[in-house]
Amino acid sequence: MLGGGILKGLAVTARNVVEGFVSKERLTTVQYPEERVPQVEATRDFPFLVFDGEDPMAGLRCVACQICEKECPPKCIYIDKSSDKKPDATGKPQFYPARFDIDISVCMSCQICVEVCPFEAIKMDVEFELSTNDRFDDLLYDKHKLAKSNEYYNHVHPTEAAAVDTKLAVERAKAAARAAAAAQPKPAAVSPAPESGAQA
């Protein structure tokens, strides 16, 4: 009979109104600034640079190999390689980024940079409240703003960071063993490597 389907629809909406008051399943809204949904571990938005140890600039894992700069699909990473080498967290002398800028107004959060980085130096952040007053300068992040500690990385992506740490520890132990083996004949070159390796 004409009107039956309409009544059925009205019943559905009425049910939704009533159940919205009792069931969280129906009324799924989260009142954002006061309430927040729990952080999902895999979430990503913009990249940051991981550093080991205390000093952000000294501990950067990035060696300015510029792979991410080349692979970045929207080309939003700008790296200037340093002309000199500085010891990294493991004490090995490495190049370091004299400039490492990411224009996050261009970045599309694809995490290709993370995948291609052979040094586990760049990772995805979860911080999303990034509004600023200046859409040019404030959205061009330099290496000081990008550098975040390994502890922070462990905090936001625990599972992934643990795997990375294990992998790095294994690699560093291997490197240390190789260095030690290589250092046997020439003990002069060894000095700081084992300690900082243990530190990391």
Partner 1 sequence: MSSIQLADQIFVLLKHWLVGRVPVSLQPVVGILITVIPIICVFPALFAITTILERKGLGRIQNRYGPNRTGPFGILQPLADGVKALTKEDIVPANADKVVHFFAPVVLVMLVFLAYAVLPMGRNMAAVDLDCGVLFFFAIGSGTEVAVFMAGWSSRNKYALLGAMRAIAQMISYEIPLILSAVAAIMIAGTLNLQQIVTQQAGYSGIFPHWYVFTPWGFAAFLLFIISATAESNRSPFDLPEGESEIIAGYYIEYSGFKFALFFLGEYLGMFSISAIAITLFLGGWAAPFSFLTWVPSWLWFFAKLVTMILCFIWVRGTLPRLRQDQLMNFAWKFMLPMALVVLTSAACWRYTEGWQRWAISFLVVIIPYSWLGHGMMSNRKLEQRKYRFAE
Partner 2 sequence: MNTELLGVPPDTITRREVIYDQEGETLEISMGPHHPSTHGVFRMDVRLEGERIVRLKPVIGYLHRNHEKIAEGTTYLGSIPYTDRLDYFCSLTNNWAYCMAVEQLAGFEVPDRAQYLRVILSELTRLQNHASAVGFLVQDMGASGTPIMYAFREREKILDLFEALTGSRMMCNYMRFGGCRVDLPAGWIDQLKALMKTLPAFLEEFEKLLVSNEILMARTQGVGVLSAKLAVNAGVTGPMLRATGVNYDLRKVDGYGFYPRFEFKVPLGEHGDVYDRYMIRVLEMRESVKILNQAIEQLPEGPIIDPKAKLRGFRPKPGESYGRLEAPKGELGFYLISDGSPNPYRYRVRPPSFVNLTILEDMCLGANIADAVIILGSVDIVLGEVDR
Measured over the CA atoms of residue 59, residue 64, residue 67 and residue 73, the dihedral's sign is: positive
| Out of 22, 40, 181, 189, the residue judged to bind partner 2 by CB under 8 A | 40
Q: Which is nearer to partner 1, 31 or 184 (CB)?
A: 31
> Binding of partner 2 at residue 131 (CB under 8 A)?
no
**What is the smallest separation between the CB atom of 129 and partner 1, expressed in angstroms?**
18
**What is the smallest separation between the CB atom of 54 and partner 2, expressed in angstroms?**
29
Q: Which is nearer to partner 2, 7 or 182 (CB)?
A: 7
Q: Which is nearer to partner 1, 23 or 191 (CB)?
A: 23
Are 116 and 71 in contact, with CB atoms under 8 Å apart?
A: yes
User: In the structure encoding, which two tokens stand for residue 56, read together?
Assistant: 């952000």
- Can you spell out the DSSP letters for 22-44? H-TTT-----TTTS-PPPPTT--
Per CB under 8 A, the segment of 8-16, 80-88, 93-101, 163-171 that binds partner 1 is 8-16
- CA-only gyration radius of the chain, Å: 25
User: In the structure encoding, which two tokens stand for residue 167, read together?
Assistant: 């992998």
> Binding of partner 1 at residue 6 (CB under 8 A)?
yes
Measured over the CA atoms of residue 118, residue 70, residue 59 and residue 92, the dihedral's sign is: positive
Binding site for partner 2 (CB under 8 A): 2-6, 8-9, 11-13, 16, 25-26, 28, 40-44, 67, 71-73, 108-112, 115-116, 124, 159
